[in-house]
Amino acid sequence: MAARIIDGKAIAARVREDVARDVAAFSAQTGRRPGLATILVGDDPASAVYVAGKQKAGAEVGIAAFDHRLPADAAEDEVAELIARLNADDDVSGILCQLPVPAHMDGVKLTGMIAPGKDVDGLTPVSAGLLALGREGLRPCTPVGVMLLLTEAGVELEGAEAVVIGRSNLFGKPMAQLLLGANATVTTCHSRTRDLPAVCRRADVLIAAVGRSEMVRGDWVKPGAVVIDVGMNRTEAGLTGDVAFAEVAEVASALTPVPGGVGPMTIACLLRNTFQAATMAAAGRVAA
Ligand code: NAP
């Protein structure tokens, strides 16, 4: 069997077009633009590239950029004060504090100070709680991106066996919650899972977010399963996923590539979240 390749690049481009159209309509109606504030502390080159990419993508869909940079030796209080100012600023719809922050700061604590209605990364305790309770709120970008990929690929989740490898707060846990919300039967695996290949072989939908190059082999996959590869591993052979692509493509019915699968969806969903935050604020709805 040769799996169908789920083209994340094309789907992300469509999401961005949708956001651009929605932003234009919102701006025409309200006279306001959604705004995305980014906070970058320190001079980590990779983080600077990520932030620049997010701001550029925002500008392309009509989202205003508020770019805040602090030196690596800034005090944690300075970042906290900036977040408080941005929380109170009506021009700012969404706030993103690029992680990791320097070692003398607590990134989880700082992220938690972002107002839930502006938490476009969906990583605050309030956003995590709203997701767990199935209430309206902003969801983490990468798991939302995976849900959009599954929808676009026409994957039926209701009653399906979904297996997520990885239980991080950033991806694995919110992914499992979103799948549960879509009525899948969900198993979350991690480094202590016994006989991981056997658990994976149960999956109709298998999602790998581990950070180990090509760990998921062809014989871990049930024939006809849909496989989503979230992994991004920089190896000597270049960027690889957590899935052994060639082997799994022989067994799965559909599969995301790396690069060009989940990766492009993350920024597209950040833009979508920023628009959602702006509309929630304009309608006076508070995430709670
Ligand atoms: P993480 O915080 O390091 O979590 C990795 C998870 O994998 C943990 O739950 C860990 O289990 C589990 N794990 C590690 N070794 C394992 C093994 N041998 N068998 C089974 N489970 C194992 O990573 P993350 O932030 O979730 O990211 C995971 C991957 O996704 C990375 O490659 C990252 O670059 C990628 N990613 C991509 C995007 C994107 O935009 N495309 C976004 C987010 C993440 P324990 O909990 O037991 O340690």
Residues of the chain with CATH 3.40.50.720: 141-264
SS3 64: strand
> What's the distance, CA 198 to chain centroid?
27
Considering the entire predicted model, what is its pTM?
Answer: 0.97
| Residues within 6 Å of ligand 1 by CB | 142, 165-168, 170-172, 189-193, 196, 209-212, 230-233, 262-263, 266
Are the C-beta atoms of residues 126 and 119 closer than 8 Å to each other?
yes
Ligand 1, residues 190, 240, 258: which to mutate, most atoms within 8 A of Cβ? 190
Residues of the chain with CATH 3.40.50.10860: 31-115
Q: List the strands of the sheet with 64-70, edge to edge.
A: 64-70, 35-41, 94-97
Q: How far is the CA of 79 from the centre of ligand 1 (A)?
A: 28
Q: Report the b/e string of 62-75 with b at 16+ CB within 10 A.
A: bbbbbebebeeebe
pLDDT tens-digit series, residues 96-144: 999 999 999 999 999 999 999 999 999 999 999 999 999 999 999 999 9
Is the pLDDT at 146 greater than 90? The verdict is yes
pLDDT at residue number 202: 98
Q: Which of 200, 152, 209, 202 is nearest to 175 (CA)?
A: 209
CATH architecture of 141-264: 3-Layer(aba) Sandwich (3.40)
Is the pLDDT at 287 greater than 90? The verdict is no
String of DSSP letters for 81-106: HHHHHHHT-TT--EEEEPSPPPTTS-
Q: How far is the CA of 209 from the centre of ligand 1 (A)?
A: 5
pLDDT at residue number 90: 96
Which CATH superfamily groups domain 31-115?
Leucine Dehydrogenase, chain A, domain 1 (3.40.50.10860)
Q: Report the b/e string of 107-122 with b at 16+ CB within 10 A.
A: beebbbbbbbbbbbbb
pLDDT tens-digit series, residues 28-60: 999 999 999 999 999 999 999 999 999 999 999
pLDDT tens-digit series, residues 168-180: 999 999 999 999 9
